[in-house]
Amino acid sequence: MHSLDDFISAREHLAQVLLSTKLIYSPIFSEESGNKVFIKPENLQKTGSFKIRGAYNKILKLSPEEKKRGVIASSAGNHAQGVAYAAKKLGIKAVIVMPQSTPLIKVESTRKYGAEVVLYGDVYDDAYKKAKELEAKEGYVFVHPFNDEDVLEGQGTIALEILEEAPDTDIILVPIGGGGLISGIACAAKLIKPSIRIIGVEPAGAASALEAIKENKVVELPEANTIADGTAVKRIGETNFEYIKEYIDEIITISDYELMEAFLLLVEKHKIIAENSGILPMAALKRLHQKNKKVVPVVSGGNIDVLMISSMINKGLVSRNRIFNFSVSIQDRPGELAKITQIIAQEGANVVKLAHNQFKNLSRFRDIEVQVTVETNGLAHIEKLTQAFREKNYEITPTK
């Protein structure tokens, strides 16, 4: 295990490459969780995530002989960019093996940092095997994304920054993928403040750390099914498991629907865009049993595809009852449709989409179905709108 001096030394080394990610107070998340919430925005970091910390610390500590050999890594995202950036900064050759399915924007971002990109296989496991082959063949030094002491030491510098800025922090919420981030943060934070609670957050469809705790050994999940792709890890690191057992107080699992809701709030109230894995701690805030505590959720990254942003916002609106879909049957005669839109307007809702189906087989021959999507202010507004329709003798049916 590391000493506090190890983390302090790592922080000094990283000072030349890191951006300052100061804590951001969140009134909306504080209100909804019953705690004082201060966001740690690592999505604003260089390369768009915390990964630069561990990658740079690892590569910096290589021996002169190892640096001459160059480094290799396998990644479909943030780790790739962190290693590429660190290697370029230190004047070292970097090779990154990425699955062929990796979005082009991530491939190009990695190349722009000066790395040689090798596209291989369909999934991460294929890329990992290829990277290990090249390591053996070419003599490169492999930089693991999480199962590495120097990498987790770099990630732990986040805890130093949090507790320097907010020494009265009671809880730090950290996403768990392979376990490198939470291992470093938990170890460093407990060395500074033993009473602090470190809570890990995993997607429910890829809860490999929680399963390891239950079994008291590292296990491999049969699948990792989640939109939080950066934490879709079927097996946590062996090294990281030892830290998790020693330092983690609790693990919370989050559904994809909860992620969508948290994503929307973060965008709307803070104008902060984060990737799905990065917002796990934000979604976990509503799950905390503790109240009136100072809580710091670590938003670990912000590298998200533009099309995914649109999808997350739309689904988040539905999840928070800001978008309401329903159907209503009306008589097939002039003026009936206008009555429907008038009720909606009187109740202050906004029509997003409206369509009618004359061929729907309804109970009365001359009835047609109208399918409506409206924008509302939330659940209370939906209930008021539903009541307004009922008073006009229309029954509406919520739809997906």
For every residue of the chain, which 3-state class applies, written as one string?
Answer: CCCHHHHHHHHHHHCCCCCCCCCEECHHHHHHHCCEEEEEEHHHCHHHECHHHHHHHHHHCCCHHHHHHCEEEECCCHHHHHHHHHHHHCCCCEEEEECCCCCHHHHHHHHHCCCEEEECCCCHHHHHHHHHHHHHHHCCEECCCCCCHHHHHHHCHHHHHHHHHCCCCCEEEEECCCCHHHHHHHHHHHHHCCCCEEEEEEEHHHCHHHHHHHHCCCCCCCCCCCCCHHHCCCCCCHHHHHHHHHHCCEEEEECHHHHHHHHHHHHHHHCCCCCCCCCHHHHHHHHCCCCCCEEEEEECECCCCHHHHHHHHHHHHHHCCCEEEEEEEEECCCCHHHHHHHHHHHCCCEEEEEEEECCCCCCCCCEEEEEEEEECCCHHHHHHHHHHHHHCCCCEEECC
Band of the pLDDT at 313, cuts 50, 70, 90?
confident
Domains of the chain: 4-49+169-315 (3.40.50.1100), 71-139 (3.40.50.1100), 322-398 (3.30.70.260)
- What pLDDT was estimated at residue 225? 87
Mean pLDDT for 129-149 is: 95
Contact between 210 and 251 (Cβ < 8 Å): yes
Please calculate the CA angle 310-51-40 and round it to the nearest 5 degrees.
70
Q: What is the mean pLDDT of the chain?
A: 92
- What pLDDT was estimated at residue 101? 78
- What pLDDT was estimated at residue 241? 97
* Per-residue pLDDT at 194 exceeds 70: yes
- What pLDDT was estimated at residue 124? 77
Band of the pLDDT at 229, cuts 50, 70, 90?
confident
Among the listed ranges 277-291, 308-322, 353-367, which one has the minimum average pLDDT value?
353-367
- What pLDDT was estimated at residue 362? 54
Which one has a higher pLDDT value, 359 or 235?
235
- What pLDDT was estimated at residue 118? 96
Characterize the bridge pairing of strands 294-299 and 171-175: parallel
* Per-residue pLDDT at 248 exceeds 80: yes
User: What is the per-residue burial (b if ≥16 Cβ within 10 Å, else e) of 165-189?
Assistant: ebeebbbbbbbbbbbbbbbbbbbbb
Please calculate the CA angle 269-274-276 and round it to the nearest 5 degrees.
115
pLDDT one-digit tens code per residue, 161-170: 999 999 999 9
- What pLDDT was estimated at residue 187? 98
Band of the pLDDT at 360, cuts 50, 70, 90?
low
How far is the C-alpha of 106 from the C-alpha of 224, rounded, in Å? 21
- What pLDDT was estimated at residue 310? 82
- What pLDDT was estimated at residue 155? 98
For residue 398, list its beta bridge partners. Answer: 326
How far is the C-alpha of 154 from the C-alpha of 150, rounded, in Å? 6
- What pLDDT was estimated at residue 296? 98
Contact between 235 and 284 (Cβ < 8 Å): no
How far is the C-alpha of 117 from the C-alpha of 109, rounded, in Å? 10
Band of the pLDDT at 5, cuts 50, 70, 90?
very high
Contact between 146 and 181 (Cβ < 8 Å): yes
* Per-residue pLDDT at 252 exceeds 80: yes
- What pLDDT was estimated at residue 232? 86
- What pLDDT was estimated at residue 205? 93
For residue 116, list its beta bridge partners. Answer: 95
Among the listed ranges 69-73, 100-104, 232-236, 322-326, which one has the minimum average pLDDT value?
100-104
Band of the pLDDT at 20, cuts 50, 70, 90?
very high
Which one has a higher pLDDT value, 37 or 396?
37
- What pLDDT was estimated at residue 306? 80
Phi first, then psi: what are they for 197, rounded to 5°?
A: -95, 130
* Per-residue pLDDT at 364 exceeds 70: no
Mean pLDDT for 292-303 is: 96
Mean pLDDT for 237-242 is: 96
Single pTM value for the model: 0.85
* Per-residue pLDDT at 71 exceeds 90: yes
How far is the C-alpha of 39 from the C-alpha of 296, rounded, in Å? 6
Band of the pLDDT at 238, cuts 50, 70, 90?
very high
Mean pLDDT for 295-314 is: 88
- What pLDDT was estimated at residue 224? 86
Characterize the bridge pairing of strands 24-25 and 36-41: antiparallel
- What pLDDT was estimated at residue 359? 61
Mean pLDDT for 64-89 is: 93
Band of the pLDDT at 365, cuts 50, 70, 90?
low
